[in-house]
Structure 1
Amino acid sequence: MAANSSLVSDAFLVGKIKLIFAEVLVLVFLCINLLLIVIYFKKECFHTTARYVLFAVTLLSDSLLLFMSDLLLILTHFHLLVQVWMCILISFLALLYFTVTPVTLTAMTLERYVAICMPLRHAELCSTRSTMACILIIHCISSVPCIVILSTFFASASLSFYKDQRICTVEVFMFHAWQDHLRSAISQFYFFIMCIIIIFSYAKIMKVAKAASGENKKSTQKGLRTVVLHSFQLLLCLIQLWCPFIEAAIFKIDFKLFEHIRYFNYIVFYLAPRCLSPLIYGLRDDMFFRALKNSLLSHKRNLI
């Protein structure tokens, strides 16, 4: 009896530590993202450059996803029940911005490809108007998976089910095995298309980098490193697409292991990619870094 009580106490303590660690990470990433968003909106020169506009979209989508996923983490950790209709609203936003980031990263990779491999057409293809249209397309493409998942749920659920109290997870919307198969097929299709675009862009930029010389070579090499960082970030984001299926398989075997795996996936494949966007365009980009440095120095002088 005492041994069981000790195990329960240890598990409770570990759970609290894991929750606090996740909360600290979310808070840190949110503060960094919000700081960079403020810098973006303060400088008008960023508003007309495609890569900075897409960077801002990434920061906003990452921040919203961090908030929504953290809310779901807290609800799940404390076993708080919410009505299904409210869970639908939360899950729709979480699923939408879960996909927006990798799709936006793919668009940013294409922008780098155009800038390096098609410099004469860059101003035309990456104009402010084209970028706004691109953002709309990104959100339309990203909404397809959550629309499909929720549509199959609406077709299967009874009206009384919407008032039920449940722990809010995506599994709430899955009544049949074919729904999981459909979600898997859509995720694999997105994974395949994004991988092709990344590989194509990397190969083309690599070819230009080898042929470039002088200042062009330096600029091209920097663009190539940016694409490599995007590729790594996108890889982490794309692995997210496989996480639900790995978790679903483990859930059937061992619930405790399932909880550990889900937490690991949340930290490594949900939170970690969100810290790379500030690195790629917040610290590595000279123009954005100068704006950030000037803003911090100005704020420091005001405090003094």
Structure 2
Amino acid sequence: MAVTNATGGGSGSSLQLAVDRILIVQVMNAIFITIICLLIFTFFKKDTFKYKTRYIFFAHTLLTDCLFLIMTNNLLLLTYFKVTMPAVACVVFCVLMSELTFVTPLTLTAMSLERYVAICMPLRHGELSTRRRSIHCIFLIHSISAIQPMITVSIFFASVPLSFYEQHKLCSAEILIAHNWQRHLRSAINQLYFLIMVITIVFTYVKIMAVAKEASSDRKKYSSKGRTTVILHAVQLFLCLIQLWCPFTEAAILPIDLQLYIDVRFFDYIVFILAPRCLSPLVYGLRDETFFLALRHYVFCGWNYRITL
């Protein structure tokens, strides 16, 4: 890899700011990834979790979020220190990141549907929410997530000369844009995804609200908890979906000011990448009593805690 001047001829304060930001991100990533790894460990240690749809989706979200955080963190480091890489490696990196970008919001949408089935269709929940169906749904999520990056990279391969792959580039998702109209196509696909997921979330919330109003006191408590879960999914989904629009603002800023581009990417990374991923442990890792007890059991090595799952 070729490395350009990390300070870009700037002052020592600019370098110090960059170092401070890098340290903050590394600490936050280390904390989140450690928590995610504990949650994943808890999931695989208890067989009962492996046969329940909501936990399977939860574990899938954790695994993809962990990989996504590692990849985005590496890309952030490369951007801050202005490290270039072979264009072909950057293309592979960006295609995988683009696919993972859609996986989390689509999985959150599937989790909201699972809560809808559990609360609004309890008699069919056991039939519809099986381990086999969950795995099929995960494959479907990845297939849908791959549509946009596959279209983008196919157009890219047909548009750039072979000599392009021998060049070294500062890696960014914009490297895959060979024509201006590709941005409009990408925007159209993102808007379609956004619309479908928002409609799904609103539909599940309204239906759960309707059931909660008519339910008995015990059932109402269960429905209320499901409604809160859907709200948290909606907040998390909203942040994830805003991330889909970040490349457009970043692309507009890049030709104007490289330092401003780096500042905007840092803000987007904290608010729209790290923040929604830290909500996953909250929704199921801490709010779900069964999972929380299992997590506490393993964190404290089973000392003074007896759990029945």
Match in the other structure for 2:243: 240
Higher helix fraction: Structure 1 or Structure 2? 1
**CA displacement, residues 196-249 of structure 1 (integer Å, 9 cap, x when unaligned):** 000111110010011112210110000000000000000000110111112222
Question: Aligned equivalents of 1:299 and 1:86: distance in 2?
Answer: 45
1:140 to 140, 143, 159: 143
Please report how far the alpha carbon of residue 95 of structure 1 lies from its aligned counterpart in structure 2 after TM superposition: 1.1
Change (3 A) 1:196 1:230: same
Three-state SS of the structure 2 residue aligned to 1:79 is: coil
Change (3 A) 1:7 1:86: closer
Which consecutive residues of structure 2, in runs of 5 or more, have no partner in the other structure? 1-7, 305-309
Please report how far the alpha carbon of residue 43 of structure 1 lies from its aligned counterpart in structure 2 after TM superposition: 0.4
Change (3 A) 1:238 1:82: same
Change (3 A) 1:154 1:300: farther
Match in the other structure for 1:294: 297
Give the letter for the 2:76 counterpart.
L
1:71 to 74, 93, 96: 74
Give the letter for the 2:52 counterpart.
T
**CA displacement, residues 157-185 of structure 1 (integer Å, 9 cap, x when unaligned):** 11121121111111111121111111111
Contact 2:91 2:175 in 1 (8 A): no
Change (3 A) 1:79 1:250: closer
Which residues of 2 match residues 84-233 of structure 1 at below 5 A?
84-233=87-236
Question: Aligned equivalents of 2:285 and 2:27: distance in 1?
Answer: 21
**CA displacement, residues 71-92 of structure 1 (integer Å, 9 cap, x when unaligned):** 1111111121211111122112
Question: Aligned equivalents of 2:229 and 2:183: distance in 1?
Answer: 35
Match in the other structure for 1:62: 65
Please report how far the alpha carbon of residue 274 of structure 1 lies from its aligned counterpart in structure 2 after TM superposition: 0.6
Question: Aligned equivalents of 2:262 and 2:78: distance in 1?
Answer: 14
**CA displacement, residues 136-195 of structure 1 (integer Å, 9 cap, x when unaligned):** 101001111111111111111111211211111111111211111111111111111110
Question: Aligned equivalents of 1:68 and 1:293: distance in 2?
Answer: 29
Change (3 A) 1:225 1:53: same
Three-state SS of the structure 2 residue aligned to 1:298 is: coil
Match in the other structure for 2:3: none
Please report how far the alpha carbon of residue 255 of structure 1 lies from its aligned counterpart in structure 2 after TM superposition: 3.5
Indicate yes or no: 2:274 matched with 1:271.
yes
Question: Aligned equivalents of 1:17 and 1:271: distance in 2?
Answer: 17
* Cα RMSD, aligned residues only: 1.6
Indicate yes or no: 2:50 matched with 1:47.
yes
Contact 2:106 2:141 in 1 (8 A): yes
Question: Aligned equivalents of 1:293 and 1:131: distance in 2?
Answer: 26
Please report how far the alpha carbon of residue 279 of structure 1 lies from its aligned counterpart in structure 2 after TM superposition: 0.4
State the percentage of identical aligned residues.
49
Question: Aligned equivalents of 1:110 and 1:124: distance in 2?
Answer: 14
Three-state SS of the structure 2 residue aligned to 1:27 is: helix
Give the letter for the 1:47 counterpart.
K
Three-state SS of the structure 2 residue aligned to 1:151 is: helix
Please report how far the alpha carbon of residue 300 of structure 1 lies from its aligned counterpart in structure 2 after TM superposition: 6.1
Question: Aligned equivalents of 2:130 and 2:241: distance in 1?
Answer: 28
Three-state SS of the structure 1 residue aligned to 2:83 is: coil
Please report how far the alpha carbon of residue 256 of structure 1 lies from its aligned counterpart in structure 2 after TM superposition: 3.0
